[in-house]
Structure 1
Amino acid sequence: MIKRSISVAFSNYIQTFPVVALIGARQVGKTTFAKEYAKQQGDKALYLDLERTSDRNKLRDPELYLQSRSDKTIILDEIQTMPDIFPLLRSLVDDNRKPGRFILLGSASPVLLQSSSETLAGRIATIKMEPIHYRELTKGILMENHWLRGGFPESLLSNTDSTSYNWREQFIKTYIERDLPALGSALDPLRLQQLLNILADIHGGILNYSSIAQSMSVSVPTIQRYIDFLEHAFIIRRLQPYHINATKRIVKAPRIYITDSGMLHSLLEIETHDNLAASSKLGTSWEGYVLQQIIANISERITPYYYRTQDGAEIDLLLQRGTKTVAAIEIKYSSTPTLTKGSVLAFADSKAPLKIIITPKAHGYTINNNVQVHSIKTMWDVLEANKLIK
């Protein structure tokens, strides 16, 4: 079993807060993680799957059931299917604030996020579980396979690329037809598939709501609403632009990424390493993959942005702590990366003390303007030395 990096934060929170929530996409590993914790606790923990009728029936009188088991840690899986229980949890916690009373697992939805933040404010710690990231990989799992298949456990750990690809195809189909509607999506499945295909095609590009709305023959507010929904479900990521200098003419729209590289490749019908190598999306796929590995590991005090001006200055990732830009990162799929005019301008604009180019393979060296070149393997020591990661 792959040890998840959230283990440390979870151990701290479960000893401090009465409620700990694990949120993340479906099949990302939340249930496996929680069941392993329950196994370690023995009869001190109780697991309930709220999508299972027999478990929901136990909560016909939820106050009586939960109150009579106040000596146990109660794990409530798929909590978003029972939003009415949040006020009761608050009441029970206010009566007994013992740490680790409840563990809530859920696929993020507007209902879950709003209910937990408003009803349980001050009582809950929330941990976001990402797909398995680079620093969690065990010996024997190649970076190339991780990039191709993505970080969902079933996909990553499949015996063959074909099995992995088939799993992701079924995952996307089920997500569109069953899971997203269960989270509150009212978008027609065919429309949702069309939208995901469009977003995969523009992965790494500037998000133009009007263009997408026109191509789908729907309104801009409708597109914005559904993209909001996909982001809440962790399917996509919008990387916001950073306004370094008020005098610069900045591109103000976000960049759009499919969060998991494996899901991106399935949407683009990229099944094998050869398919990926031959794809016109190779560079943007690599960019999104590296971006996800970094963002999944940065400190909670670090905010990620991208930077682009209408004069051509552009950088893929800026990391900001407070009001200070602490790192500027360019991501290139090249064995001999060079600085373009745009990246030179952007590195200068950023005034970041740490400037890095990330490539598939490099042993760590410096080129002009004090820009370091690293592989995804060697960059972690640099980021850690600068206190940028967890």
Structure 2
Amino acid sequence: MIPRLLEEPLRKRWNSGKALVVMGPRQVGKTTLLRKLCAEHGQYLLLNADEADVRFQLENANVARLRQIIGPNQVVFLDEAQRVKNIGLTLKLITDQLPDVRLLVSGSSSFDLANEINEPLTGRKFEFRLYPISWQELVGSVGFLEARRQLETRLLYGFYPDVVTSVGDERAVLQQLSSSYLYKDLLTFGGIRRPELLDKLLVALALQLGSEVSYNELARTLQIDRATVENYIGLLEKAFIVFRLQPFSRNLRSEISSSRKVYFYDNGLRNAILADFKSLGLRADVGALWENFLVSERQKVLHYNQIWSRSYFWRTHQQQEIDYLEEQDGMLRAWEFKWNPNAKTRFPKTFVETYKPIQADVIHRDNFESFVGVL
């Protein structure tokens, strides 16, 4: 098992008396990680909500029933909690009425789970996300040089744990992941009635990787209304398949303020959607793959290190642009992404003079490690 950066934050909160909730995409190792932490404390009770009898016992459970279910166990791990109806109230009863129980909860989507637990568990939980393997975790597992050798492979096949450990069989694993797990939560919780439309939307988003996305253009292409496009993209976000960056706009009339960029949490999943795993030397989208890799890795860095900042891109109607910005404590940092270390890049004078960023760097394949958390 590749050691995960989330282990220490979870250990730090172990004796907090609050529920530890870990959400994230399917098949990224949530169950493996939480079972490892539970096993470190001896006996524990695993409740897998994928099993119908577990769901039945936990739905609308009262304290007496929960005491029967939990018995003498001091550690309880509820896996795939989003599948249990009214799970928020059940978890609240455990945290309030059984204070000696250490409660760990996992969920593969934020559809019902986030909505149901936020209010009942206000002040009673610490919430975390687990992503596919990060570059920092890969370096920690295989070493700096071996990770460097894998850079092209990771840009093509991504970081799902089964993909990283299935050398030579990456395509088959990704095909299984994308076909069996991609839509499971969407179809169950999202009210998706036309899976074929979701397929077309994902292909369109994959083809526009690194570019601004127009909801109106997508609606025309897919022959649906704009509201449906926005709804489906929102559902894809809740399933941890894609995420959006907003445009940064403060002072200039020429700034674009209404478009979005959509990134995939994993390069491999994006390429699987397009069924395109050509080597980098044969691709026209190397820049987009590089940008998606860096932006998605940066989200892992921010979350695992508990860095509270907002992420943006910047562009004007005159085609001036900056790939990625972070705003923290009122200060801006700016980065441009170039796969080629020799590519010439200048930050727009308009942006620099208006916003005075405290950092403005170009990230390329020879210097990207610190940006993705490897010092």
Q: What TM-score results when the alignment is normalised by the length of structure 1?
A: 0.86
- Output the amino acid matched with 1:105: S
8 Å contact from structure 2 (residues 135, 372) kept in 1: no
> Distance in 2 between the 1:60 and 1:304 partners?
38
Residue number in structure 1 paired with 2:131:
130
8 Å contact from structure 1 (residues 203, 257) kept in 2: yes
Q: Does 1:311 align with 2:313?
A: no
Is the partner of 1:297 in helix, strand or coil?
A: helix
Structure 1 residues 295 and 82, CA gap change in structure 2 (3 angstroms): same
RMSD: 2.2
Q: Does 1:46 align with 2:45?
A: yes
8 Å contact from structure 1 (residues 38, 47) kept in 2: no
> Distance in 2 between the 1:260 and 1:166 partners?
16
Match of 1:212 among 218, 222, 226: 218
Q: Structure 1: which 4+ aligned runs deviate by more than 6 Å? A: none
Task: Among all aligned residue pairs of Structure 1 and Structure 2, give the percentage whose two residues are the same amino acid.
Answer: 25
Match of 2:231 among 207, 220, 225: 225
Q: Does 1:245 align with 2:246?
A: no
Matches within 5 A, 1:163-178: 163-178=169-184
Structure 1 residues 380 and 109, CA gap change in structure 2 (3 angstroms): closer
Quote how far apart the aligned CAs of 1:201 are.
0.5
Match of 2:158 among 125, 150, 159: 150
Residue number in structure 2 paired with 1:90:
92
Gap runs ≥5 in structure 2: none
Residue number in structure 2 paired with 1:284:
288
Quote how far apart the aligned CAs of 1:6 are.
0.8
Matches within 5 A, 1:1-390: 1-43=1-43, 45-56=44-55, 59=58, 62-63=61-62, 64-68=64-68, 69=70, 71-98=73-100, 101-137=102-138, 138-139=141-142, 140-141=146-147, 142-160=150-168, 163-272=169-278, 274=279, 276-298=280-302, 299-325=306-332, 327-340=333-346, 343-361=348-366, 375-379=367-371
Deviations 1:22-41 (A, max 9, x none): 00011111011111122222
Structure 1 residues 349 and 167, CA gap change in structure 2 (3 angstroms): farther
Quote how far apart the aligned CAs of 1:313 are.
2.4
> Does 1 or 2 have the higher relative contact order (CA < 8 Å, sep 6+)?
2
- Output the amino acid matched with 1:2: I
Q: What TM-score results when the alignment is normalised by the length of structure 2?
A: 0.89
- Output the amino acid matched with 1:291: V
8 Å contact from structure 1 (residues 176, 192) kept in 2: no
Aligned residues: 362
> Distance in 1 between the 2:154 and 2:269 partners?
12
Quote how far apart the aligned CAs of 1:260 are.
0.7
Is the partner of 1:280 in helix, strand or coil?
A: coil
Quote how far apart the aligned CAs of 1:244 are.
3.7
Quote how far apart the aligned CAs of 1:95 are.
2.5
- Output the amino acid matched with 1:129: L
Deviations 1:71-98 (A, max 9, x none): 5221111111103132122133223444
- Output the amino acid matched with 1:77: D
> Distance in 1 between the 2:338 and 2:42 partners?
48
